[in-house]
Homo-oligomer: A and B are copies of this chain.
Amino acid sequence: MVEFSSERLARLTGMLKRRGVILPAFEIHGGAAGLYDFGPVGGRLRNRVNQTWINHWQSLGNVVEISCPTVTPYPVLEASGHVGEFSDFLTECKKCGEASRADHLIEAIHPNAESLSKDELGALISENNPPCPSCGESEWGQIEAQNLMFNTKIGAGSSGRQGFLRPETAQGMFTSFTSIYRHFRERLPFGALQTGKGYRNEISPRQGMIRLREFNMAELEYFIDPEVNTVHDFSLWNQEVTLIADKEGEIVMTLGDAVEKGIIRHPTVGYFMGWTMDFLLNVGINPAHLRFRQHESNEMAHYAQDCWDAEIRGSYGWVECVGIAHRGCYDLTAHEEATGQRLRAWRTFSEPKVVEINGWTTDGAKAGPAFRALAGQVKSAVEELPPETKFPFTLSIGESAVEILPEHVKRVQRSENVNGEWFVPHVVEPAFGIDRIIWHLLDHSYSEVEKSGEDYTLLGLPELIAPVDVTVLPLYEKDGMDELALIIHRELCGKKNVFSVYDASGSIGRRYARADEIGVPWCITVDHDSLSDNSVTLRSRDTGEQTRVLINALPF
Contacts and interface: CB of A to CB of B under 8 A. Distances in A.
A343 B366 CA distance: 75
Interface string A504-536: 110000000000000000000000000000000
A335 interface: yes
A39 B505 contact: no
Number of copies: 2
A79 B339 CA distance: 43
Interface in A32-68: 32-33, 35-44, 46-47, 51, 54-55, 58-62, 64-68
B40 A192 contact: yes
A185 B503 contact: yes
Interface stretch (A174-182, A224-232, A249-257): A174-182
Given A51-B51, A156-B99, A500 B183 contact: no
Interface stretch (A106-114, A194-202, A263-271): A194-202
Interface in A138-162: 146, 150-161
Contact of A69 (B25, B152, B155, B496): B25
A203 B163 CA distance: 15
A118 interface: no
Interface string A488-508: 011001101101101111000
A112 to B, nearest CB: 23
A86 interface: no
A178 to B, nearest CB: 7
A26 interface: yes
A341 interface: yes
A341 to B, nearest CB: 4
A55 B496 contact: yes
Given A65-B43, A172-B37, A185-B503, A26 B73 contact: yes
Interface stretch (A90-98, A280-288, A301-309): A90-98
B179 A39 contact: yes
Contact of A175 (B29, B197, B335): B29
Max count, chain B CB within 10 A of own CB: residue among A99, A151, A159, A199: A159
B183 A502 contact: no
B156 A199 contact: no
A42 B64 CA distance: 10
Given A61-B502, A199-B71, A156 B28 contact: no
Contacts of A161: 32
A30 interface: yes
A20 interface: yes
A155 to B, nearest CB: 7
A379 interface: no
Q: Is the interface of A mostly helix, strand, loop or mixed?
A: mixed
B26 A155 contact: no
Contact of A493 (B18, B37, B59): B59
A214 interface: yes
Given A28-B339, A155-B201, A214 B97 contact: no
Given A20-B183, A72-B26, A499 B42 contact: no
A68 B39 CA distance: 8
Interface string A65-86: 1111111110110010000000
Contact of A183 (B41, B70, B154, B214): B41
Interface string A324-353: 000000000001001101010000000000
A426 interface: no
B76 A64 contact: no
Max count, chain B CB within 10 A of own CB: residue among A29, A58, A60, A199: A29
A170 interface: no
Give the contact-size bracket for chain A.
Answer: 35 or more
A408 interface: no
A534 to B, nearest CB: 20
Given A20-B183, A40-B180, 8 more contacts: A29-B335, A32-B161, A37-B67, A40-B64, A40-B176, A55-B496, A71-B199, A71-B213
30 contacts: A25-B69, A25-B175, A26-B69, A26-B175, A28-B343, A29-B335, A32-B69, A32-B154, A40-B64, A40-B65, A40-B66, A40-B176, A41-B64, A47-B65, A51-B51, A55-B496, A55-B497, A58-B499, A59-B493, A61-B493, A62-B502, A71-B150, A71-B213, A92-B159, A97-B159, A99-B156, A152-B152, A156-B201, A165-B165, A185-B505
Interface of A: 18-20, 23, 25-30, 32-33, 35-44, 46-47, 51, 54-55, 58-62, 64-73, 75-76, 79, 90, 92, 97-99, 146, 150-161, 163, 165, 172, 175-176, 178-180, 182-185, 192, 194, 196-197, 199, 201, 203, 213-214, 335, 338-339, 341, 343, 486, 489-490, 493-494, 496-497, 499-500, 502-505
Q: Which 4 A-B pairs have the closest CB atoms?
A: A99-B157, A43-B65, A40-B183, A40-B64
